[in-house]
Chain A
């Protein structure tokens, strides 16, 4: 299995523990991640707000880079997944296509639409398969109740992304169960983390993040896990302000998806950048990995 690896901006900077743990899991499963230093940022939904066609063109360029290498793109961020997927879709509109081609052709870039865009969660569940995942588990996450948190752009708009049910998905929970964890079902798992307005109105963003964390907590979650580093920023890095806004104690450890996979596969916590989280994952890790005698 070989992919054009699209880590996205955050996983290369403030969320690099996500990149670290993705590489760990890819090594363990024999997934080859091919790097392309030419990949640019996906625009994160913000460039789309400012200029839709420009946003499509930026991502058509990214897609063309993978196409030239004959590879599908692997993302590890719900927003990157959404932006790249939507660019593919918008390029099927002849009017958009004409404008974008008008900008790409003069600089020698040809977009063909031959590379698919997929996310690590999908690859693990659909291409690696849950049986193969189960076979790799060395340290089952038994006893750990985990609330999956999907991230909007992995699921919606569902008629365009064409994957799981936008309000009742189960791939992430299936994966958690295969790792031995107990998935916790709660409505907040398909809600928004608040990140898109973290810079617009932090107190509203914080209340939104806090509600989802509280929802997971009230449904008995020991920890949350997300396939999106932007959700991780909202849920982990900005959990302290959210706690203050809600005036409720949260103390919710939030894992990146591949961190939990790697832990179940036997990785040591210090290989996964867990110390970089704002909320300690210690209590959750202690539940699954009692100190060896």
Chain B
């Protein structure tokens, strides 16, 4: 019978900073149907077993974005993650607060850092004062213009992407997937007058730290696909401003490098991206690599049919085209 109750071992992260000396995992066991969401299990535990268990939630319908947490390491909405498959795969359900944000208590995190990054991209329309919106109604957009948003307006700001992101974890300069997906939404909005400024600013404010690992896209409960919109932002930023940062320099250098021989010349690429001066700092370790892998320094042979690539570039790449 598909709905028959199963035993679900649950390990919940418990910590009250300032009171508890260290975080711990508290073990519970509940009998529920396999389709029961993790959120319902936590609420059942709180109602029946432990009223001190702290968590954030509201709508229970994947609309409000309040109940994001880590469930068996995956950043997800607890209200739409059934326990059955988790128990099948892991034998238990380990519940932890979202990563990359300080814990307030148990499963509740301080979303301050996440929202500050959001504020910094100025997530509101900047209308050109010379062309104000006609009184009483916004400028209408064509369906094609709306399509350029992709699914970014669906974002519910749950921060699951922020929790899943390894660049956020490693570098405070990275604004995070959600803020960048929002930025994209304003950059492609035909009513926004600050597109150019936005693109220029973001190049120096962490855009190029995205790893394109797509962990945000997997974590997103609304299929916003932040990693793909960040890619779009990078191409738009290069088009708007050219190559100003090491990130954009590297992307464009790679593109040119490929055209050169059809295959990658590793040493040349490093030179193009870092510049000779920038390479000096890397020298000791580069020499260690060179000793083991001397090919790094040599020019690889060109591929056959390189002229085909030249024609493709001429047709599709403005910078290298006629």
Contact = CB atoms under 8 A, between A and B. Distances in A.
B111 to A, nearest CB: 22
A208 B208 CA distance: 15
A13 B312 contact: no
Contact of A241 (B214, B258, B285): B285
A142 interface: no
B303 A37 contact: yes
Given A187-B73, A208-B167, A103 B235 contact: no
Given A197-B209, A199-B270, A104 B263 contact: no
Contact of B170 (A44, A51, A208, A277): A208
A187 B72 CA distance: 9
A228 interface: no
B131 interface: no
A14 B293 contact: yes
Nearest to B246: A200
Which of A10, A49, A241: most chain B CB closer than 10 A?
A: A49
Contacts of B137: none
Interface string A159-202: 00000001110000000000000000001001110101101111
B269 A199 contact: yes
A51 B317 CA distance: 7
Contacts, number: 196
A27 interface: no
Interface string B279-315: 0001001001100110110101001110011011101
B264 A10 contact: yes
A37 B14 CA distance: 58
Interface in B217-246: 217-218, 225, 227-228, 231-232, 234-235, 238, 245-246
A62 to B, nearest CB: 10
Interface string A34-56: 00011111011111111111100
Interface string A206-239: 0110010000000000000000000000000110
Interface stretch (A127-135, A150-158, A256-264): A150-158
A201 B245 CA distance: 11
Contacts of A12: 263, 300
B316 interface: yes
A109 B308 CA distance: 9
B89 A14 contact: no
Given A9-B264, A14-B295, A50 B235 contact: yes
A233 to B, nearest CB: 9
A45 B309 CA distance: 17
A49 B231 contact: yes
A26 interface: no
B218 A157 contact: yes
Contacts of A70: none
B316 A201 contact: no
B218 A158 contact: yes
A20 to B, nearest CB: 12
A47 B208 CA distance: 14
B211 A208 contact: yes
B214 A278 contact: no
B166 interface: yes
Contacts of A53: 316
B291 to A, nearest CB: 9
A40 B266 CA distance: 15
